[in-house]
A and B are shown apart, each in its own frame.
Chain A
Amino acid sequence: MLSVKGLHAKVEQIDILKGLDIEIKPGEVHAIMGPNGSGKSTLGNVLAGRPGYEATSGTITYKGHDLLEMDTEERAREGLFLAFQYPVEIPGVSNMEFLKVSLDARRKHAGLPELSAVDFMKLARETSKRVDLPASFLKRGVNEGFSGGEKKRNELMQMMLLEPDLCILDETDSGLDIDALQLVADGVNSLRDGKRSFIVVTHYQRLLDYIVPDHVHVLAGGRIVKSGDKSLALELEAKGYAWLEEEVA
């Protein structure tokens, strides 16, 4: 699914990633943990092709394509999805319209016809129910006046609707209460089908109680300094990151 080798990347002239390697197979869930400023969010943004996040060396292969050669929107249409830490508002553009054009773009790329308005409405309503957002949210502007939790559920709704191949969750748990966390985790788990892969970027072990990862990586100083299974997350929870940083040093 995704193979990252020796990735260096910089943001605003500052080197953030310094030789990162990661290998993700179809169906796997990888958790990326690490202290503040270690480059966790940068990784997600480089993968998604956010302007200003520049890969300076290394390779990224996604579904056999050279990811760094693809435009931001091409990556999305090819099934790479980033759930934002701070989803932005687009006033006046209804959620419904936004979902429809996004889905149309993805379907068109896959050679599928656009969904009819009726089929789409039905699908959108069902999906909003799955993330426990009232159908009235479909008519509101994208994230316009949504609470933090509603924005995150809206991200989840987009993810469910677009059925991506690789989902990157960028600190989706931040700012969520325990009920909302459970709901988001249930949503993610319902999308695990043995083929779809996930990168779950998080600060805390808590989310991983609900979304159980196959692999856990610790990112520090722009590189992966330790990898393990889910028990690594528990160890981090107990001991913090300092011991790892010392170990690396």
Chain B
Amino acid sequence: MTEQVESLIKRDYAAGFHSSIESDTLPPGLDESVVRFISEKKGEPEWLLEWRLKAFRAWQEMEEPTWAHVHYPEIDFQSVSYFSSPKSMADKPKSLDEVDPELIATYEKLGIPLHEQEMLAGVAVDAVFDSVSVVTTFRAKLEEAGVIFCPISEAVHRCPELVKKYLGSVVPQKDNYYAALNSAVFSDGSFVYIPKGVRCPMELSTYFRINEMNTGQFERTLIIAEEGSHVSYLEGCTAPMRDENQLHAAVVELVALDNATIKYSTVQNWYPGNAEGKGGIYNFVTKRGICHTNAKISWTQVETGSAVTWKYPSCILKGDNSVGEFYSVALTNNFQQADTGTKMIHLGKNTKSTIIAKGISAGQSNSAYRGLVRFNPGADGARNFTQCDSLLIGDRCGAHTFPYIESRNPTAVVEHEATTSKVSDDQMFLCQQRGLDAEKAISMIVNGFCREVFKELPMEFAVEAGKLLEVSLEGSVG
């Protein structure tokens, strides 16, 4: 089904691009030949192959970071397969009846429409479903506005000069261990280009919901907002994805040129492992944006999935008067571990950043906020406000806060507020005395705690994010 959607979407594009749907799968292991193989499979130009190889060589010299407050068995990077073809139709479930009923139950609780359920579960459906026409309408609308929104592997052919100019410009190949790995072997991802002065005519989330593709474990996203343009993008989905991959290392780069605004929202609900802490995704993500003069980048994330999360969506506030925002809810339950936060690097004058981070820990999980606010010498009059709240459910979980503040400019102002609270017995009793059961009470209290962040999400997702918390908290009260 995913291929079907993909091919339907691609049919109209002039550039023939079908090489990704071939049936080769590489054996586990990583060396230069693997990087060359991937690049060749994608029909990439020479410069991109060189770019990947440079990353690969750098990666070989690097060491896996160990500073995060997470513990997991050592990853054997040679036991991972770095190129696998999409599943063939024959291997896919024929209908939702063949899909794990627990997964379907979750979709239903989240209110995901049936055809989306089929798509998310990877059901092989022959019939063309309604939303294809919707996709076509959306694409026409985007093209009319001059917006380019396509897989990054396609952008390499459609607009090579843009990709060449900006790929790695915000997250260089050698930035960190996982970013280097991603740069060497990235499978695919999204590319967005908003021309000068254009306000993207729709939330790219709407489109994305229907068009979501299995972009693999090494996803690469690049968003370029030209001067004075505006775009809102939502990645991920509230529904858990069927995905057997253990290791995810994605890179997202945002470029907001003068007076541009990029709003990037994430709802991440990858498989968190079972209640005993077995299995689950290791999610190591590098997300960063650069703001030119008067530009604004706003990150909003709701992280409820993955066994291990390592993620710090950041802003480089390069231009004067630029604005960076980070709104985050990170919920961990059972044995999940999250080490997440942001970096706000103030370079320009009068730059402003806001950080609102909410961590919720239940079960025996651990959640850490790690954030850096840096004012460079040129950042006259810069300001930061950080609010960092932790909520504990039960007495076996942990919440940790690691704020780093570096100021090299005497005129910069930074405010940091932090609280840690527990869902109190008194709050629970009040709710139950008014007729709510314990699970409903917890989810309502937690939703209230997250309100400031949810209001930053596109509306339809704010509702779903609330429900998602409810589902993720199941079993957190005895």
Contacts and interface: CB of A to CB of B under 8 A. Distances in A.
Contact of A141 (B425, B429, B448): B448
A88 B451 contact: no
Interface stretch (A69-77, A125-133, A175-183): A69-77
Contact of A51 (B425, B427, B444): B425
Contacts of A49: 432-433
Contact of A101 (B428, B429, B438, B444): B444
A91 B430 contact: no
A90 B440 contact: no
B424 interface: yes
B: interface residue count bin: 20 to 34
B224 interface: no
B445 interface: yes
Contacts of B444: 90, 93, 97-98, 101
A72 B452 CA distance: 31
B430 A90 contact: yes
Contacts of A105: 434-436, 440
Contacts of A73: 432-433, 435-438
B450 interface: yes
B433 A91 contact: no
Nearest to A168: B433
Nearest to A104: B435
Contacts of A87: 430
B448 A101 contact: no
Contacts, number: 72
A72 B429 contact: yes
B447 interface: yes
Given A93-B445, A93-B447, A101 B436 contact: yes
Interface string A84-103: 10011011110001100110
B449 interface: yes
A53 B278 CA distance: 38
Nearest to B450: A92
B466 to A, nearest CB: 11
Contact of A109 (B424, B435, B440): B435
Contact of B432 (A72, A158, A162): A72
Interface in B99-135: none
Given A91-B448, A92-B451, A93-B448, A72 B426 contact: no
A106 interface: yes
Given A88-B424, A90-B445, A141-B448, A76 B429 contact: no
A9 B438 CA distance: 24
B433 A82 contact: yes
Given A92-B448, A92-B451, A76 B434 contact: yes
Interface in A20-56: 48-52
Chain B interface main SS type: helix
Nearest to A82: B433
B433 A76 contact: yes
B448 A84 contact: no
A90 B430 CA distance: 9
A77 B440 CA distance: 14
Nearest to B449: A92
A140 to B, nearest CB: 11
A173 B425 CA distance: 24
Contact of A102 (B436, B449, B450): B436
Nearest to B425: A51
A158 B434 CA distance: 9
Interface in A131-169: 141-142, 158, 162
Nearest to B454: A92
Contacts of B430: 84, 87-88, 90, 142
Contact of A72 (B424, B433, B450): B433
A90 B435 contact: no
A162 B427 contact: no
Contacts of A90: 427, 430-431, 444-445, 448
Interface of A: 48-52, 71-73, 76-77, 81-82, 84, 87-88, 90-93, 97-98, 101-102, 105-106, 109, 141-142, 158, 162
8 contacts: A73-B432, A73-B433, A76-B435, A81-B433, A92-B450, A93-B444, A101-B436, A162-B435
Given A48-B433, A73-B432, A87-B430, 15 more contacts: A49-B432, A50-B433, A51-B428, A72-B433, A76-B433, A88-B426, A90-B430, A90-B445, A98-B431, A101-B434, A102-B434, A105-B434, A141-B448, A162-B434, A162-B435
- Which are the 7 A-B pairs with shortest beta-carbon distances? A92-B448, A93-B448, A105-B435, A102-B434, A92-B451, A76-B435, A72-B432
